[in-house]
Structure 1
Amino acid sequence: MFVRAVYATGDPAQLGTAVRALNTQGHDLLEERPGYRGAGVFVDHDLGKLLTVSWWESEEARHNSDEVMRERRPTLLEPFAGTMSVENYEVAVFQPGRRPLTGGGLRVSRLQFEPAGAEQVAKTFQTGALPRLEILPGFAGTALFLDRGRGRGMAGTLFADHRSLVASRAGQAVVRHESAVKAHVTVVCLEEFEILHAEVRGG
């Protein structure tokens, strides 16, 4: 599968307005697009950050949806979004969650690597990191997104609740360090979000 990630920052007091628009108008727009396979909405209420991820059955389906979504996105995120970026990725690894995720936590690592090493990054995550992440208390799913051409990626791990998210920090830090060394990856950003919605169909 393929994903489109939208990252917006703005006034925390306006975040709720954007979330409501995404959950109504934004949801309906996505559901109408061929090849749509689900979405996630993640927030940091304190700092005013919003991350949305839409899942698509093919690169073509994602591309075909972009014209409509690109036109409507600014309106949906007004007046919250002071900054906004959009990135496209291939889903290199996906381990679905096994628990309800609303109210849980998401930890995201943003990655950089040499494009020629993309396959090694995916293999290291699949065979090395994933088995160790799965045994963390409260683990509720994980995914690795790659932009092979640009040498960029996102690794996200879901936890059943905020307590599990906090408790996993030390354990996941070890996994992150060892995996980054083995895969020759640079972790350029680490963030945590609250899960408002997370659904993937046919994963």
Structure 2
Amino acid sequence: MFVRTVYATGDPAELDTAVRALNSRGHDLLEERPGYRGAGVFVDRQLGKLLSVSWWETEEARYNSDEVMRERRPALLGPFAGTVAVENYEVAVFHALHQRSTTGGGLRLARVEFDPADADLFADAFHADLLPRLEALPGLARAALFLDRHRGRGLVGTLFTDPHSLAASRAGQARVRREGAAKAEVTVVGLEEFEVVHADARTL
């Protein structure tokens, strides 16, 4: 599986306009594209941040879809978006504890950097050592690791069923993050939290 992320910042007062466009016109456009396997929309309403993640069966399907989405994206995100960053990743790990809706829940996102030669080391350590510890966090719904092997960058996402579980997990996940970063030889360069508007990745 492969994903494309779109990270936009702008005026918080205009954020819901972009969310409505993504959930209607944007959703319809994605559903028409071959190889589409779902999407997620996550927001920080206070600061004015929006993260959209689309899932694809192959790199080719992701690439082909972007030819269309690149043209439509400004209209979908305007007038909210003042800045837009688009990135592509391989899905190295995806683990769903249950299929319950996570709408209204929370996403914690860690941005990491690593030596590109250590990409497999990172993926193996995450799956074997970190994932079992993350599973013990109350309210965890899903955990994922996205990798850009060439640039040595990645995203670690943990989805929680509700805002209380997200907040209550901060100390426990901080311990996992500290020990995991040391063991996998990665550097955490960013940490963010978002509200889950929707998340419907279909990985099977």
**TM-score between the two structures when normalised by the length of structure 1:** 0.99
Q: Which residue of 1 aligns with 2:69?
A: 69
CA offsets per residue over residues 105-141 of structure 1, 9 Å max, x none? 0000001000000001101110111001111000100
Question: In the TM superposition, what is the alpha-carbon distance from 1:200 to its structure 2 partner?
Answer: 1.2
The residue that corresponds to 1:197 in the other structure is 198
Whether 2:71 is the aligned partner of 1:82: answer no
Distance in 1 of aligned mates of 2:126 and 2:74: 34
Q: Counterparts of 2:43 and 2:129 in 1: how far apart (Å)? A: 29
2:98 equivalent to 1:104: no
TM-score, normalising length from structure 2?
Answer: 0.98
User: What corresponds to 2:29 in structure 1?
Assistant: 29
Mapped partners of 1:132, 1:112: distance in 2: 21
Correspondence for 2:177? 176
| CA deviation after TM superposition for structure 1 residue 12, in Å | 0.2
5 Å matches for 1:1-203? Answer: 1-98=1-98, 99-203=100-204
CA RMSD, 1 decimal: 0.7
Which amino acid in the other structure matches residue 173 of structure 2?
Q
| Mapped partners of 2:202, 2:97: distance in 1 | 12
Asked if structure 2 preserves the Cα contact closer than 8 Å seen for 1:41 and 1:53, the reply is yes
Secondary structure of the residue that 1:111 maps to in structure 2? strand
Alignment-mate amino acid for residue 49 of structure 1: K
In the alignment, the residues of structure 2 paired with residue 154 and residue 90 of structure 1 have an alpha-carbon distance, to the nearest angstrom, of 10
Q: Using the aligned pairs only, state the percent identity.
A: 71
Name stretches of at least 5 consecutive residues in structure 2 with no aligned partner. none
Divergent runs of 4+, >3 A? none
Q: Which amino acid aligns with 2:72?
A: R
CA distance in 1, matches of 2:122, 2:150: 13
* Distance of 1:96 and 1:46 partners within structure 2: 28
